[in-house]
Amino acid sequence: MSNVNLAIIYYSSTGTNYKMAKMAAEAAKEAGAEVKVLKVQELAPQEAIESNPAWKAHYEEAKDIPEASSDDLEWADAMIFSAPTRFGNVPSQMKQFMDMQGGLWAQGKLANKVVSAMTSAQNAHGGQEQTITALYTTMMHWGAIIVAPGYTDQAIFGAGGNPYGTSATQGKDGNMVEDVEAAVKHQAKRTVQVAEWVKKGRQ
């Protein structure tokens, strides 16, 4: 049975990355991890949210999800980050959350955390790989241990074959084009497993 604390930290405007976060949480719990699903603070003005029915619906749907804090990162042995692309990069909401972790970083409290990342975009070449590697760049500065899925399971191919982290394409109907559930769950279990190895080694 795992004794890993896993924080799944996501940003989602219309719900795709929230769904992926929930898939990851289910798999991590099956692997025995203690799991928190946490959203980052929404920075967009209320008018922008209100003007988009899908955004407004998800904003209401997720209103009871707790917001991530530095305490959650300190608690976690492992973290999975999930966020959509914004012009091929990390959305400002997630970037601000990461930029606020200078205090933990300065104390060395983010070093040796096990991390992995997922993303989504509205088309298959909308910056998914770039967004994940941008997230990983910050994590390299932390001294974290990056766990990419690579091609360690057939499920990765079924979800589009992204070795950096699971990525979903959101169709015009708001649903994911690929069936990413198996790939997300494999990535989550792999993250928990590596965190287990690291935690046992450090102990």
Each domain of the chain, given as residue ranges in start order, spans 5-202
pTM here is: 0.95
**5-202 — its CATH code?**
3.40.50.360
* pLDDT of 176: 83
pLDDT given for residue 22 in this prediction:
98
Determine which helix (DSSP H) or strand (DSSP E) holds 140, and give its type and residue range.
helix 128-142
The predicted structure's pLDDT at residue 126 = 85
In this prediction, residue 96 carries a pLDDT of 97
Its sign, for the CA torsion 120, 121, 122, 126, is: negative
* Cβ burial, residue 42 (10 Å; 0-12/13-18/19+): middle
Q: What is the mean pLDDT of each run of 10 residues along the chain (203 residues)?
A: 89 95 98 97 94 92 96 98 95 97 97 97 88 97 98 94 93 84 98 96 80
Q: How far is 195 from 193, CA to CA, in rounded Å?
A: 5
Contact in structure between 80 and 117 (CB atoms under 8 Å): yes
Residue-level pLDDT at 2: 65
Widest Cα–Cα separation across the chain: 51
| Residues making up the chain, counted from first to last | 203
Query: CA separation (Å) from 50 to 45, 56, 91, 93?
Result: 9, 5, 19, 17
